[in-house]
Amino acid sequence: MKDLIDHLFSFHEVQLAVFPEFISFLKGRKKIIRIVVDNSNKPFNVTLFRKYGYFVKESLLYSSVQKNSFGSLVPSIDQIAGAEFVEVRMFSISSSHKDLDGFEHAELYGDVEKAGIYLGYPICCTKNIININNLKELWATYYLTDYKKNKSASYFTNRFPITWGGFSIIGELFPCSLTCSKAIEYANHMYDDMVDFGFHRVSEVMINHAKSSIYINAQNGAISNCENKGYDSIVFS
């Protein structure tokens, strides 16, 4: 299956955050994987995926470009009026055509909770995503508040490496809390799948990224992996 990995992460340059999720998909733990790429002329090799028994569906979406790594995927530019946007392509992949249809419908028509369940995300996290999305560019302050309340943050819930191009141990999931046991279990399974596939060095890098502290400006939601005046830290352990 190295050819599948090469096609996505070398040829299409899919962001590293999706890598652990894709490995768990190949392992059979996740029944659907969602891949979002720039709307370029690079062809997607559907035949290659069919060789392994996977169906692929493609959708053209619009991604809003906003501050602090916040963005949203919508099927119509009317839904992101006033914001800059770019066209992107979403590829949904599954061995079940029925599940693929259900996921694509949920994703395109804004049923975030149902889409998250198809992606194998913990239910508590899918139910909570609206609270994070409502904060828009201030989304990171949700986790800062959570950290100050619970005085703890598991590195298995650290998705912030996405903001600086690193490996996210939890993939694209927005955990409902930095101490959520279901989110920790979800990320732990993906880590185990990475090791089982032989990605030992990558797994070590992913752990190092996950254990990196993050710094957030509570006023404007800015995110940094370096200490800055006016920023509060989240220490993952």
| pLDDT tens digit sequence for 133-153 | 899 899 999 999 999 999 999
CB 201 within 8 A of CB 143: no
Which whole number is the average pLDDT over 117-146? 95
Q: Residue 32, exposed/middle/buried by CB under 10 A (0-12, 13-18, 19+)?
A: buried
Strand partners of residue 89: 37, 60
State the pTM of this model: 0.91
pLDDT in tens, 184-194: 999 999 999 99
State the pLDDT at residue 72.
73
State the pLDDT at residue 82.
57
Which whole number is the average pLDDT over 17-36? 94
State the pLDDT at residue 77.
67
Identify the band that residue 79 occupies on the pLDDT scale cut at 50, 70 and 90: low
- The whole-chain average pLDDT of the chain stands at 92
Q: Of all residues in the chain, what percent carry a pLDDT higher than 90?
A: 76
State the pLDDT at residue 172.
93
Sheet holding 55-65, edge to edge: 32-38, 84-94, 55-65, 73-74
State the pLDDT at residue 175.
98
State the pLDDT at residue 165.
86
State the pLDDT at residue 171.
94
Residue with structure tokens 């979406």?
Answer: 61
SS3 content of the chain, % helix, strand, coil (to 5): 45, 15, 35
State the pLDDT at residue 122.
97
pLDDT in tens, 104-114: 999 888 788 99
